[in-house]
Structure 1
């Protein structure tokens, strides 16, 4: 069904002082591929600094949400807002809303960083260059400053001695650590994590998850995470959303959702994966 986007994201009425705009807000978002509806009038928001994890069966629309935020896909209907600013639309001179172009989306997208399932490192570049290339070329940072920050991040992810190595000389877990450092080098305010351990051998998973736990507890990043690692979701989340068939079927704290799920579909899913 077509939506009629408003010119501001949903607000919360009440006697208390107004709450700040959510950092991320999906307003009746629909995503279709042909006749297949992946997201079905999706409404949800993420407050600044909060960590929200999306769980659910494969194909339920979780990764599509991250791809829409990164503008790798376009919404079929509805609107997405980032910190009170429309990501998906711009206002024409006559006041009407129209789909946003790249020029409008670029500065908003720079506030968002995404770590993908696959590392996508440049094989011909050293680890250091993989991390510094985007800050230098996109953010305009002086190379010396970018390299200093890259070395700090490599130290944080436990790879200070790998700065001059090439990706082919690293394990999968090490490559994913470099990918995380590369994302953080762009100084995002919102961090998207898309099944970041799914391409790793089982013995490498815990190290990457420990690193992400540290990032979650030591930074003020807003985080939106898609994962099948339920223990990790329990540890880092302020809120967990259970998805099925493009809709949120249950929302709760990790304690409530994992210990006493209310919805039958959540109970079935957790019964299969825990």
Structure 2
């Protein structure tokens, strides 16, 4: 892998039935970069995030994170499907915030954030809670630590989900349409939290969103997907004001 490269897809193909969602995709993200994936529904954007979280596996090709294969490992000089222990170890470096908040309804906010650091990273409960308090302050929910998810608004639940993902101190944060399930008046608060994270941390962010102003604000690079391939990429000021590809022009004119 090249210096600074954190994520690499090599010839990754993913099909669902007869539909090819990713078509021999080559794709890289450098450490510390904020990359936004745009394109029509079904173009493969969310599938990339699901592959990185190992919620689905590639049919062909390989994925590496931090120089290590994600769903494969080398044994006896050969590349073979990885065991669950290997997958868990590599995946620890990746956090994801989903469209739906996916909080544990039977756990208070504090425990939602501390459970994985205690169980997966082996932090003491005190260490995990200290980390969680700092993250609750970051997302503006310090006074909500003892509430259950059902006592929070959708925007507050999504901010807890962001704090939970950050509690694992991942190298990579995946954001999958994180505001799509929110009422419009709640969107701004969540996006402001993510802007703060992008501005104040060195975490690598890979974002799927239809919030183009947000993408323009936080992205170092924007990639346009169509039919499972990257058809154009560039800095946001170029992509949103003067894209080269006709398909990109069509897509952006329909949503901007």
Deviation at 1:33, TM superposition (A): 1.4
TM-score, with normalisation over the residues of structure 2?
Answer: 0.98
- Indicate yes or no: 2:24 matched with 1:41: yes
Larger-Rg structure:
1
Q: Which runs of 5+ in 2 are unaligned?
A: none
* 2:190 match: secondary structure: helix
Aligned equivalents of 1:29, 1:203: Cα separation in 2: 38
**Structure 1 segment 91-106 matched on structure 2, within 5 A:** 91-93=74-76, 95-106=77-88
Give the TM-score taking structure 1 as reference length: 0.92
Cα distance in 1 for residues equivalent to 2:68 and 2:109: 35
Decide which of 89, 99, 123 is 2:72's aligned counterpart: 89
Where 2:5 maps in the other structure, the secondary structure is: coil
Counterpart-to-counterpart distance in 1, 2:178 and 2:65: 23
Determine if the alignment matches structure 1 residue 147 to structure 2 residue 129: yes
Q: Does 1:156 align with 2:166?
A: no
C-alpha distance in 1, partners of 2:252/2:83? 40
User: For 2:103 and 2:118, how far apart are their aligned partners in 1?
Assistant: 16
Cα distance in structure 2, aligned partners of 1:200 and 1:209: 11
- CA deviations 1:137-190 (Å, max 9, x no partner) are 111110011111111111110000000011111000000000000010111011
SS at 2:173 equivalent:
strand
- Report if aligned partners of 1:21, 1:84 keep a CA contact under 8 Å in 2: no
Equivalent residues in 2 for 1:207-226, closer than 5 Å: 207-226=189-208
Local SS of the residue matching 2:174: strand
Please report the RMSD computed on the Cα atoms of aligned residues, expressed in angstroms: 0.9
Check whether the contact 1:90–1:100 (CA below 8 A) recurs between aligned residues: yes
Q: Structure 1 CA distance, aligned partners of 2:4 and 2:75?
A: 23
